[in-house]
Amino acid sequence: MSPSLLNPYFLLGTAILILLVRVSGGQHRTNVGAIGSLLLLSIASPWSLMLVLAVVAVVVWPSYRLNVVGRTSAIAARRALPFIAAVVLLTGFMAIFKVAQRVQATSNSLTRVTEIFGFSYFLFRALNFLVVQHLTKLEEPRPLRLLYYLAFPTTFTSGPIQRYLDFRAQTDSGPPLETSQLYEGLYRVVRGFFRKLVLAFALDGIVTHFLGLPELTMVHSILIITALYLYFYFDFAGYSDIAIGLGLALGIRVPENFRRPFLSSSLTEFWRNWHITLVDWLREHVFIPLGGMRAGRAKAGALALLIMILCGMWHGLTTSFFLWGLWHGLHMLLESWIGLRPIPRASQHGLKYWAMVGWTNVRVALGALLFLPAGDDVVRVLRGLIP
């Protein structure tokens, strides 16, 4: 079985893990969760487990220990070199994995790649752990907690991406698991399955139906663009709901991934409210280290363009994903150059606000066409918009 929350067997295993975690005492909850997560991953995808343990044993843990030892040294390079080497290795692993996924899309010889389902999200968490350890004097005395963080089952195959410090704080405090938290989690799981299996499924059917027509009119094209845009939202927001809900049941509040994105008045604001954890991760690990917070409009806009291209290539090493990232990045670059700012909450009314909201959603929806698997379909839909 694949380690996906949509797989009934993996979902059943997660439910059993939730039961074990909730009946265990606060002192042992993290250890039970870590061992249970690793066992669940070993059953769902042995290759994923082997890869996770290998990366932790060869790269993450040695780099962390060298960083701790280097804190007592006056030579800064003794801390920096292991950290830089680990970052380069993990980034290289991610690039290799993306290339392997691309090759596997056109070949049946790499079927095991599909088993290593959530490797990118695992690497994001591993990099965040190493960055935190490099920038602070915080130590991780519990290797099992690190493994629990890296292999947390509800977010292993997809987002949201949780920060190490946030995860650690929740396992450190160890508050009793309240029934209200379980009920909240169950509500999010039910809502997530409804969004993904009902709404997203229906929207996908609408897109497929109209794309199958021999000729597309303007109405058909508008319906395809709208349904496709909403499909991506309900599909991913639904999965995020399931991950967040199951995380709550395990006693871990996973961060939100969406925050009223359709009411954004600019592309820059939109990407603060859509797939929030991925964009925040790129901002914290790319934008800020490259001086984005202190940069002028031109440099900040250029860095936003870089981040969106990276975001596109992270989705897949294809021309379509590159163009998708470029499309969003260029709009954000332009917004930065002209000094466009999101409209404050108190002023979010009137014709100007709703016009900006509409223009933002039009641009995002048009960009979503690049996710269609067939390039001819993109051309057909755009051609249909012409009277």
Domain edges within the chain: 8-173, 184-249, 261-384
Q: How far is CA 178 from CA 15, 183, 184, 255, 320, in A?
A: 17, 9, 10, 19, 46
Task: Report the alpha-carbon distance of residue 168 to residue 34 in Å, rounded.
Answer: 13
Task: Report the alpha-carbon distance of residue 200 to residue 23 in Å, rounded.
Answer: 35
Task: Report the alpha-carbon distance of residue 219 to residue 146 in Å, rounded.
Answer: 52
pTM of the model: 0.90
Q: What is the pLDDT of residue 344?
A: 83
Q: What is the pLDDT of residue 95?
A: 83
Contact 387, 374 (CB under 8 A): no
Q: What is the pLDDT of residue 331?
A: 94
Both structure tokens of 23 = 């009946």
Q: What is the pLDDT of residues 10-64, one digit of tens each?
A: 889 999 999 998 888 777 888 999 999 999 988 888 888 888 999 999 999 999 9
Contact 337, 291 (CB under 8 A): no
Contact 133, 20 (CB under 8 A): no
Q: What is the pLDDT of residue 115?
A: 54
Both structure tokens of 377 = 């379909």
Q: Which segments in the chain show pLDDT lower than 50?
A: 108-111, 113-114
If you search the block for the tokens 């990045």, which residue do you land on? 329
Query: Nearest 5°: CA angle at 94, between 88 and 100?
Result: 135
Q: Is 372 left (phi over 0), alpha (psi -120 to 50) or beta?
A: beta
Q: Is 275 left (phi over 0), alpha (psi -120 to 50) or beta?
A: left
Q: Quick one: which of 234, 246, 260, 36 has its CA closest to 151?
A: 36
Q: Is 240 buried (19+), middle (13-18) or exposed (0-12) by CB count in 10 A?
A: buried
Q: What is the pLDDT of residue 22?
A: 85
Both structure tokens of 88 = 């380069």
Cis peptide before 160 (omega within 30 of 0): yes
Q: What is the pLDDT of residue 110?
A: 44
Q: What is the pLDDT of residue 77?
A: 59
Q: What is the pLDDT of residue 108?
A: 47
Q: Is 191 buried (19+), middle (13-18) or exposed (0-12) by CB count in 10 A?
A: middle
